[in-house]
Amino acid sequence: MILRTQSILFHRYTDELRPYKYAGYPQLIKTIKLETDDERLFSKSAPLLAAASELAYHTVHCSALNAEELRREGGLDVLLEAYTRCVSVLSRSSKSTDVAVQVCMHITRCFAVAGSFQGCRDKIIELPQLVKDLCRILHFKVRTKTRKVLCVCVCVCARARARAYITLIYSISIFIFLIVLFCSI
């Protein structure tokens, strides 16, 4: 309930909270890690992972200070672990109310926003599993809203890799992939 309350506050009062750094990342990251490692994650009646990943997104969206703090605290790595765990259970029959789908949506949005900041982009370059997970989600027929968020995140990854002087062909292939993707909607 506390996680959900904080998400609401960061969502509704973004302008007011923008100058302040979120002080709860060590606890939030620990919660995400514990939930990700829990064998019963998808059978819980009230899983914390969806609320924790939503809070991570809202705090990063609120302030660049938070994005950098999340990166420094190792939060991007922990979010990727949660993301990979949830992506692995997605299927064509997954519903938007499923925990895995909610977690994937929040974490995708979090990475898309975090990629706007140089330090986070540099870290995203070190996470090749992220691109694999994004491609796996794109394989499923997802809602248009989800598809847009995924495409933004793919673009952030492509931009981060381009800035790291990975070949231009990689960026062009991502761009072509996105064109094909939008043409099939």
Could you report the per-residue pLDDT of 44-78, keeping only the tens digit for each? Answer: 877 899 999 999 999 999 998 899 999 999 999 99
Q: Kindly provide the b/e burial profile for residues 96-117, where b requires at least 16 CB atoms within 10 angstroms of the residue's own CB.
A: eebbbbbbbbbbbbbbbbbbeb
- The amino acid present at 67, given as its one-letter code, is A
pLDDT reading at 156 higher than 80: no
For residues 64 and 179, the model is more confident at 64
164: Cβ–Cβ under 8 A, 6 or more apart, which residues?
Answer: 122, 125
How far is 156 from 136, CA to CA, in rounded Å?
17
Contact at 8 Å (CB) between 52 and 35? Answer: yes
- Residue-wise DSSP of 91-118: -TT--TTSHHHHHHHHHHHHHHHHTTSH
Q: Where are the beta strands (DSSP E) in 33-161?
A: none
Give the three-class secondary structure for 140. Answer: coil
Q: How confident is the model at residue 122 (pLDDT cuts 50, 70, 90)?
A: confident
CA neighbor of 156 nearest in space, from 106, 109, 104, 112: 112
Q: What is the DSSP letter of 151?
A: H
CA neighbor of 57 nearest in space, from 96, 100, 115, 98: 115
How far is 49 from 85, CA to CA, in rounded Å?
11
Q: Where are the beta strands (DSSP E) in 7-132?
A: none
Give residue 143's pLDDT. 58
